């Protein structure tokens, strides 16, 4: 299937960037990551558990608790995060063409009722590096806002194998995931949606 590139408010959406074989191989690699670094549901600074379960790979993992949002070098169990799989790094290379590779691959698993509120990715040191997002599994309704919270938004359904690049003018725009459409993919044995986001942290 040929990749189609859409641009929405500076977000580049690569439709069908990964064929089924690449998706399946990546899903297997992510299962290995989750086996080494078991997923957990972080608390927000307000003490509410997030509806997504997450883990990470790379030099750093993303973490949240009552102290705030930040990157940490170890899983909550005290072990270093596993390496980012080559299958995932290949996507970064493919869509960015950058020599610098990401320090963190955040792995979010969305069950049938999980969502992610509108937010900015701004826990990194240098916003000139893009954030790359990979969708696996069920369709997810991705919402894109502006540079400040509130106002008019646009939405697009992301499908398994789609890749989004948030760079340049889009880097600090608000975005979120309103809901998933259960049963739209057979990629993940237990269903649901996995979203991978690759970030340069330092």
pLDDT reported for residue 49: 86
**What's the confidence (pLDDT) of residue 1?**
57
The pTM of the full predicted model, rounded to 2 decimals, is: 0.95
Tokens for 66, please give them: 């009552």
| Closest by Cα among 91, 87, 85 to 36 | 85
Give the pLDDT band (50/70/90) at residue 92: very high
Give the model confidence (pLDDT) of 137-188 as tens digits: 999 999 999 999 989 999 999 999 999 999 999 999 999 999 999 999 999 9
User: What is residue 45's predicted lDDT score, i.e. its pLDDT?
Assistant: 85
C-alpha distances in Å from residue 7, one per residue of 142, 154, 169: 13, 11, 12
- Reported as a single tens digit per residue, the pLDDT across 57-82 is 999 999 999 899 999 999 999 999 99
CATH number at residue 20: 2.60.120.590
Q: Find the DSSP H helices in 62-159.
A: 86-96
- Whether the per-residue pLDDT at 126 is higher than 60: the answer is yes
* 172 neighbors 81 (Cβ within 8 angstroms): no
How far apart are alpha carbons 115 and 112 in whole angstroms? 9
Q: What are the strands, taking DSSP E only, across the chain?
A: 4-8, 11-15, 53-58, 61-65, 68-72, 104-110, 116-119, 131-137, 139-144, 154-158, 163-166, 175-181, 193-199
Q: Which long-range contacts does 18-24 make (Cβ < 8 Å, 24+ apart)?
A: 18/91, 18/134, 18/160, 18/161, 18/163, 19/161, 20/161, 20/187, 22/87, 22/161, 23/136, 23/160, 23/161, 23/187, 24/187
Q: Which domain holds residue 88?
A: 4-199
SS3 for 168?
Answer: helix
The SS3 of residue 126 is coil
Strand, helix or coil for residue 145: coil
Please tell me the total count of domains within the chain.
Answer: 1
């Amino acid at each position: 299937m040929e990749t189609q590139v859409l641009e929405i408010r500076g977000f580049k959406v690569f439709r069908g960037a990964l064929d089924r074989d690449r998706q399946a191989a990546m899903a297997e690699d992510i299962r290995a990551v989750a086996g080494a670094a078991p997923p957990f549901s972080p608390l927000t600074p307000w003490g509410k558990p997030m509806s997504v379960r997450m883990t990470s790979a790379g030099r750093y993992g993303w973490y949240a608790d009552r102290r705030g949002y930040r990157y940490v070098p170890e899983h909550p169990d005290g072990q270093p995060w596993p390496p980012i799989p080559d299958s995932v790094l290949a996507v970064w290379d493919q869509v960015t063409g950058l020599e610098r590779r990401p320090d963190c691959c955040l792995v979010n698993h969305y069950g049938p009722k999980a969502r992610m509120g509108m937010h900015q990715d701004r826990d990194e040191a240098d916003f000139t590096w893009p954030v790359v997002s990979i969708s696996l599994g069920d369709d997810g309704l991705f919402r894109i806002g502006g540079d400040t919270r509130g106002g008019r938004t646009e939405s697009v359904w992301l499908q398994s194998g789609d890749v989004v690049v948030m760079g340049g003018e889009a880097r600090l725009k608000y975005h979120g995931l309103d809901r998933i459409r259960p049963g739209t993919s057979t990629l993940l044995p237990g269903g649901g949606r996995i979203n991978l986001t690759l970030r340069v942290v330092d």
